Structure 1
Amino acid sequence: MTSARIAACLAAGLASLWGQSEVSPNQPPNEDLYLYHSVPDIAVQPVGKPATPLSGLWRDRPLLITMVFTRCAGVCYPFLRSLRAATELAAKPPSGYRVLVLSFDSRDTVSDMKAAASGIGAGADEDWIFATAAEESVRRLAEATGFWFRWDGEKRQFDHPAVLLAVKNGRLVRLFAGGRITAESLGSVLRDLDGGFVPSYPLADKTSFRCFQYNAATGGYSLDWGALLLVLPGTIAFLAALLTFRPWRRRGARAPFPAA
């Protein structure tokens, strides 16, 4: 095979891998494609407050954003309730944070969002902001963060993933996607927002082994079974070497050089 053919095969392989890394139309957004990108500073209309750009919400503290629609019969309200419960259990970073629940449905009104806030028990919480925005602004935010939504005429519902966008100083720091969020998962997101060390990012359905276990109540980490798996190979190699060379040393000690 000539050098040109080898180069062509490599290029085709890389193109195939790149294509697989793109977001599938029916899959949650890929965090790696959007991490640390700038978030559009769109204007939103919060419930009971003047309109404000997003920068007015993230200027003095990090901002968590989730996008929903109030007529949702699927994942929206279960996800919001899990997020609400997680915020009450997870340790709050010193800098604090806000939660923005933004509608992507142009039919939703401020009154609809107010009812949604009351429905999950966040109506009186100053740190929870329910808001609407112009259709074009919503699409800009969605495109910049990988969020997608499309109308299903048969179901008369929007098809969309449930996501949580973690924004700090106008940049996307974390992107969580899943049907619900636990205090453990939210805790790792908050530590990232606060600039702390996050040894592992637990998946939404949890993993069997991980190096560290996160305690949502204290905000601390402890060693988990995964750390043992990292140490075990080295320990076995050390013991094997010890057992191999100790008998040789003892035999050598029993055979001194003859006297001159």
Structure 2
Amino acid sequence: MTVRVCIYLLSGLVLLASTNSVFAQGYYRQDELPLMETKPAIFDEVKLDEKLGNKIPLDLQFTDQNGKTVTLADYYKDGKPVIINLGYYDCPMLCGVVLQGLTDGVKKLNWNPGDEYRILTVSFDYAETSQLASDKRDTIFATMGGAKQVKGNGWDFLTGSRDSIEKLTKATGFGFKWDEASKQFAHPAAIVITSPDGTITKYLAGIVYPPSQMKFALMEAADNKVGSFLDQVVMMCFQYDHVAGQYTLAVTRLMRFAGWVTVVLLGSIISLLLIREFKRRRLEQSNG
């Protein structure tokens, strides 16, 4: 018992240290554009209006990368949390950066889309076609070594009608607007985390999605029904910071956890000592 607890404790501390180092690598809120020296005024009109607790309309119809008509409900049937990535496939700048950030996070995450969770990349440009979606999917999957990490329809790329797009972006609070000057859409940089019933549980804003952040958000969305015991232990030491838009170390929780572990360790050691003393006395009595 003592050895097992020590292993969990040491492993947890290693994970905590590595997670904190990931946080230090850089994180951007949705209203920060690190690739630009100045932010165009149009971005003030396309804020991300977080709709936490809102349910997305699962009856909305879209077309997948194969030209097949699907509904959002098709991706929620097996009880997995779903990441929604809104953008458009012909985007010359921000969408590609966001999508690459998501791809990097997926590659480093020790979970596979289609197993523990799903991803939906959805174009908000109703003029785009399923062929564009297919081409973008192939490009992204090529950077993942042939999509060996993706199981089945674990990561689909969708297009849709104006009505479906407007209803989905309204439900998620994701603003976008065509900028005639730059000939592109202005929009926030963020991914939306939804629970297995389609409830919006978290927004991860920015262009960098550390695997630890994604894992915590997915675990919370799934009501801790995904993830190992060690994942659950580590998550107890973190809390979501709505201002920073990320999970941060919860000092109070960490102190409580450390205290709990200390009590368990001390109790185990005392129990072992008592058992040894009891055995020693019985041995002395039998020899006497």
Q: 1:37 aligns with which of 54, 58, 65?
A: 54
The alpha-carbon deviation at position 163 of structure 1 amounts to 2.0
AA matched with 1:181: Y
Deviations 1:10-34 (A, max 9, x none): xxxxxxxxxxxxxx6343333xxx1
User: Which structure 2 residue ranges, 5 or more long, are not aligned?
Assistant: 1-43, 225-231, 260-288
**Alignment-derived partner of residue 76 in structure 1:** 95
Indicate which of 33, 55, 62 corresponds to 2:73: 55
Is the CA contact (8 Å cut-off) linking 1:47 and 1:130 kept in structure 2? yes
Q: Sequence identity of aligned pairs in percent? A: 23
Say if 1:145 and 1:62 are closer, same or farther in 2 by CA, change over 3 A: same
One-letter code aligned to 1:76: C
**Counterpart residue number, 1:251:** none
CA contact (8 A) 1:102 1:132 kept: yes
Amino acid at match of 1:55: A
Shift of 1:211: 2.3
What does 1:103-122 correspond to in 2, within 5 Å? 103-121=123-141
Matching of residue 164 in structure 1 with residue 203 in structure 2: no
Hey, what's the Cα distance between the residues in 2 that align with 1:43 and 1:160?
22
Q: Which deviates further from its counterpart, 195-204 or 37-46? A: 195-204
RMSD: 3.1
1:117-136 paired onto structure 2 within 5 Å? 117-121=137-141, 124=147, 125=150, 126=152, 127-136=154-163
CA shift, 1:183, in A, is 1.2
Aligned residue number for residue 15 of structure 1? none
In the superposition, relative to structure 1, how do residues 203 and 116 fare at CA in structure 2: closer, same or farther (>3 Å)? farther
CA shift, 1:115, in A, is 1.1
Query: What's the CA shift for 1:50?
Result: 2.6
Residue identity opposite 1:141 in structure 2: L
Superposition TM-score, scaled by structure 2 size: 0.59
Between the aligned partners of 2:139 and 2:241, the Cα distance in structure 1 is: 29
Hey, what's the Cα distance between the residues in 1 that align with 2:110 and 2:240?
A: 16
Paired residue total: 192
Q: CA separation in 2, counterparts of 1:88 and 1:82? A: 10
C-alpha distance in structure 2 between counterparts of 1:80 and 1:108, whole Å: 17
**Residue matched to 1:155:** 182
Aligned partner of residue 84 in structure 2, secondary structure: strand
Counterpart contact for 2:98–2:207, Cα < 8 Å: yes
Residue 185 (structure 1) aligned with residue 213 (structure 2) = yes
Report how far residue 79 of structure 1 moved: 1.2
> Offset at 1:95?
6.3
1:140 to 145, 156, 167: 167
Query: Are residues 1:46 and 2:64 paired?
Result: yes
Cα distance in 1 between the residues matched to 2:243 and 2:140: 21
Residues 190-222 of structure 1: per-residue CA shift (max 9 Å, x gap): 111221365312679798x7326xxxxxxxxx9
Q: Distance in 1 between matches of 2:67 and 2:198?
A: 21
Call closer, same or farther: CA 1:121–1:202 in 2, change over 3 Å: farther
Shift of 1:108: 1.1
Alpha-carbon distance change, 37 to 204 in structure 1, aligned in 2, over 3 angstroms: closer
Flag structure 1 segments of 5+ consecutive residues without an equivalent. Answer: 1-23, 213-221, 232-260
TM-score normalised by L of structure 1? 0.65
Question: 1:157 corresponds to which letter in structure 2?
Answer: Q
Aligned partner of 2:249 among 202, 210, 218: 210
Match of 1:99 in 2: 119
Matched, 1:200 2:274: no
